[in-house]
Amino acid sequence: MSQALLRTVAVALASSAAFTPVVAAQSAVADTPAVDRYIAAEMRAQKIPGLSLAVRRAERLVYVKGYGVATLEHAVAASPDTLFQIGSIGKQFTAAAAMLLARDGKLSLDDHLSKYLPGIPPTWSDITLRLMLNHRSGIAQLTPPARDLLDLHHDYTDAEYIRLATSVPLDFRPGTDVSYSDTAYVLLGFVLNRVAGQFYGDFLTERVFRPLGMSRTRVVSDADIIVGRASGYELRPDGALRNQSWVAPALNRTADGSLYSTVLDLARWDEALSARRILDGEELERMWSVESLHGGGVPFYHYGYGWVIDQWRGHRVIEYDGNWQGFQAAMARYEDRHLTVIVLTNLALCRAQRIAHTVAALFDPALARFDTPAPDLNRQITLAFEDFIADAARGAAISLPLTPAGRKRLTPTWVAALGGELRATGPVGAVTLVAETRAHGMLERVYRVEAKEMVNFFSLRYNPADGAVDDASVYQEY
């Protein structure tokens, strides 16, 4: 940040009581100043104007605080009650609405999209609502990096949007692969509007937000006067901050993530998830399951319904991040650690997910980061792994030796998805061994692979007899 901007932030900090942290009497973190030092350092390094943080541990809100400014022009301090856009974190609410309507008997998740949107192409006939929820539909993304077909300044009608979406061929046959699709969630919103007989945002207000006391959560509107709303910012190529880009009103009412919320409201949502207050245990288990592809095989991307389901140091993580119109957000639930971290910021494309993960590690050492290189006593294994990454990135046949189990895991579909991800987020930078253990007769290694827009943590299990890979998984961090 510039010195002038730092002075502006300092004045806001000094003048606002909103910066006093709300901490439970028996906080689960031993060194709360360490959290503040870390957040301050990240905000300086990433030029984040404002940030709100909430941490729940063992069903209690143990830490909540605002940092920096919600609005630079007026030096308004960010607080736990500041309203941020949450981007694709809103997809979990769209998924919840679909599941509630299924419970009401108004739809089935296995219904075909053609039942609700007649006139879609015959090639879409196998697309179900379930495949749209977990990004297995093949419906193409209309925005970068895959394509640049959506005019963000055009006020699309539903019919116009459907025509645009269906003009692009499917990325794959429905159910056979996974590819992130905002488009699918926008179309899901059209279905929900028709089935519910009302706008999906109003349905969520009646069935989710109001019952949970999430009084600040609502659909985005640039026209409405909304008290406590943060301004969104973007970084220009020269590193200077600018106001968020304007988006047509219709594109701020879509079901792929057009919501405002606060860390306090999202903490209420997290509490309701744990208590099964809106969705029951069976519904949540379906929402948080990673389904196999048609024909078998584990997908490269671990999408549930509006969530990503993963593992970090052997602990289940249910999380999502969001980016839209000058904002970046992250929410991570560490189920068996009974810990949730929520981070909302007003800077597009900042590393909010990394902040959430690091804060989680500050509260729970079992979730420690893999940031320190480990001694690499067998460089040949590492060199073979680096060749594997290079081969996948350029779409070449991989030479990594695989056991029979490894071949079932690293299928051509899995490797192709990895290659596409590396090309989209690359170029690939440093490859570092960060952990090595032996368990159940196998050698287990974790590599940190840096790309321009992503950090990937690869966990590989090797058969020590011949060095063949028996299993592999990737944990991605924006």
Give pLDDT tens digits along the chain (478 positions): 444 444 443 433 333 333 333 333 334 555 789 999 999 999 999 999 999 999 999 999 999 999 999 999 999 999 999 999 999 999 999 999 999 999 999 999 999 999 999 989 999 999 999 999 999 999 999 998 888 999 999 999 999 999 999 999 999 999 999 999 999 999 999 999 999 999 999 999 999 999 999 999 999 999 999 999 999 999 999 999 999 999 999 999 999 999 999 999 999 999 999 999 999 999 999 999 999 999 888 999 999 999 999 999 999 999 999 999 999 999 999 999 999 999 999 999 999 999 999 999 999 999 999 989 999 999 999 999 999 999 999 999 998 999 999 999 999 999 999 999 999 998 999 999 999 999 889 999 999 999 988 999 999 999 998 999 999 999 999 8
Indicate whether 451 and 464 sit together in one domain. yes
What's the Cα-to-Cα distance from 472 to each of 38, 298, 419, 424, rounded to whole Å? Answer: 32, 11, 15, 21
Measured over the CA atoms of residue 286, residue 287, residue 289 and residue 290, the dihedral's sign is positive
Indicate whether 434 and 352 sit together in one domain. no
Burial class (CB in 10 A: 0-12, 13-18, 19+), 392: buried
Indicate whether 71 and 95 sit together in one domain. no
Indicate whether 147 and 66 sit together in one domain. no
Peptide bond into 118 cis (omega under 30): no
| CA distance linking residue 276 with residue 251, whole number of Å | 31
What's the Cα-to-Cα distance from 115 to each of 109, 112, 285, rounded to whole Å? Answer: 12, 6, 26
Are the CB atoms for 66 and 20 separated by under 8 Å? Answer: no
pLDDT for position 297: 87
pLDDT for position 286: 97
Domain end call among 157, 179, 196: 196
CATH of the domain at 62: 3.40.710.10
Closest to 412 (Cα-Cα) out of 204, 172, 200: 172
pLDDT for position 30: 52
Buried b (16+ CB within 10 A) or exposed e, 90-105: bbbbbbbbbbbbbeee
Indicate whether 239 and 359 sit together in one domain. yes
pLDDT for position 27: 43
Q: Looking at the domain assignment, is residue 207 inside a domain?
A: no
CATH of the domain at 410: 3.10.450
Question: Residue 301: which domain range?
Answer: 3-88+226-367
| CA distance linking residue 16 with residue 5, whole number of Å | 17
pLDDT for position 440: 85
Q: Looking at the domain assignment, is residue 209 inside a domain?
A: no
Q: Looking at the domain assignment, is residue 76 inside a domain?
A: yes
pLDDT for position 368: 96
Q: Looking at the domain assignment, is residue 219 inside a domain?
A: no
Indicate whether 296 and 244 sit together in one domain. yes
Are the CB atoms for 255 and 305 separated by under 8 Å? Answer: no
Indicate whether 187 and 117 sit together in one domain. yes
Q: Looking at the domain assignment, is residue 204 inside a domain?
A: no
Q: Looking at the domain assignment, is residue 30 inside a domain?
A: yes
Three-class SS state of 437? strand
| CA distance linking residue 361 with residue 251, whole number of Å | 36
Q: Looking at the domain assignment, is residue 214 inside a domain?
A: no
Indicate whether 84 and 98 sit together in one domain. no
| CA distance linking residue 343 with residue 52, whole number of Å | 6
**Number of domains, the chain:** 3
Q: Looking at the domain assignment, is residue 49 inside a domain?
A: yes
Indicate whether 271 and 308 sit together in one domain. yes
Indicate whether 15 and 80 sit together in one domain. yes
Indicate whether 405 and 457 sit together in one domain. yes
pLDDT for position 439: 86
DSSP 159-176: HHHHHHHHTSPPSSSTTS
Indicate whether 390 and 427 sit together in one domain. yes
